[in-house]
Amino acid sequence: MAYAVHFAATILACWLTAQVLAAARWTWRAPRVAIVCWQAVGLALGLSAMGLPMAVGLAAYDRPTGGALLALADDLAHGTLPAGVGAAHLGLVGVGFGIGAVLLTTTVRAVHGAVRAQRRHRELLSLVARRDPTVPGALVLDHPSAAAYCLPGVRPRVVVSAGTVDLLDPAELAAVLTHERAHAQERHDLVLLPFTALCRALPWFGWVRDAHARVALLVEMRADDKARELHAEEPLAGALRRFAAAGHRLTPAGTLGIGDRDLDVRVQRLLVADRPPRVLGATALAVAATLVTLPISLFLS
């Protein structure tokens, strides 16, 4: 049962780490580090949720889960099982595999849904969007609402509405375009994908949904940082203020939009020049690495 206790402890540690990350504000100063920590929590949680019932079912083998699974497979092939392994224990192993199947299935469904939505929107853009020399490298939609978003994928597209072109001055528009290109370059859609899958697989856990919201905000802050590196704080902050005042904003499904999340918080953050907390960030990464290492080592041993 010692290995089951390790998995249970990891699940508890994931929950505690998620609570700390959700309440922390240093994450706003180091969004890339915080995103890695959240990813580690998600991976460790998924592996431990699979491993816990398996470890309980395989307790009679008294070895790490990976080795116990191999031993069980060998015993089943020879038609013999050790004392202490019955139908209930095999059922628990099946539950672990079932959790893994649910996580894999929801991830595949999330990928399929995102790709399908992106394909439909890309086809729509080919019909209604246009190039504009005042907006280099982007497509323009003739729509009065404020919209600026990245359509991710192998061939990403940055899209702005005519309303956005009229709303922003040239410096603000350039900062917005850099923000959206950062989403495409760093594949932030893939960063969010596992958390979307976890929300679908574990909908009864409120802290899983909160994790998705937190990571989505951190992704926007990371793109804000990339835009700030090239355009300073004021143009992007001004653009966010204009988006906040614009009222109706558009962000189609399957895209990453600049104006759809916590605009006031992001403006305040841009105007406060705090350095990333190096020691705290390094500590958080060490905790994240430990969380992931334990379940992986139990499966590989």
| Residue 158 three-state SS | strand
In a domain, 244, yes or no: yes
- Annotate 92-149 with DSSP letters as a single string: HHHHHHHHHHHHHHHHHHHHHHHHHHHHHHHHHHHHH-EE-TTSTT-EEE--SSB-EE
Tokens linked to 152: 């991710």
Total domains, the chain: 1
Residue 243 lies in a domain: yes
- Look at the chain and count its residues: 301
| Other C-beta atoms lying within 10 Å of the C-beta of residue 71 | 16
The answer as to whether 73 is a domain residue is yes
For residue 238, how far is the Cα from the chain centroid?
27
- Token pair in block for residue 179: 């923000």
What Cα–Cα distance (Å) separates residue 248 from each residue in 1, 47, 100, 267? 55, 41, 40, 19
Q: Are strands 139-141 and 157-161 parallel, antiparallel or unpaired?
A: parallel
What residue ranges of the chain have pLDDT lower than 50? none
Cα separation, 48 vs 270, whole angstroms = 37
Residue 59 carries which DSSP code? G
Residue 85 falls inside a structural domain: no
Q: Structure tokens of 5?
A: 């206790």
- Which residue, chain included where needed, has tokens 């497979």? 73
The whole domain housing 265 covers 1-77+99-300
In a domain, 82, yes or no: no
Q: Is residue 253 part of a domain?
A: yes
The pTM is what? 0.87
Within 10 angstroms of residue 214's Cβ, the number of other Cβ atoms is 21
Token code pair at residue 143: 């729509």
Asked, for residue 94, whether it belongs to a domain, the answer is: no
- Could you tell me the sign of the dihedral formed by the alpha carbons of 238, 242, 244, 250, in that order? negative
| pLDDT of res. 85 | 80
pLDDT score for 32: 92
Q: Which residues of 110-263 form beta strands (DSSP E)?
A: 130-131, 139-141, 148-151, 157-161, 256-257
Q: Can you give the pLDDT at residue 261? A: 67
Q: What is the pLDDT of residues 44-64, one digit of tens each?
A: 988 999 999 998 888 888 888
Give the single-character DSSP code of 249: B
Q: Is residue 90 part of a domain?
A: no
pLDDT at 3: 83
Phi, psi angle pair for 141, to nearest 5°? -100, 130
| pLDDT the model gives residue 223 | 92
Number of Cα atoms under 13 Å in the Cβ half of residue 8? 8
Q: Please, are residues 140 and 130 in contact by the beta-carbon 8 Å criterion?
A: yes
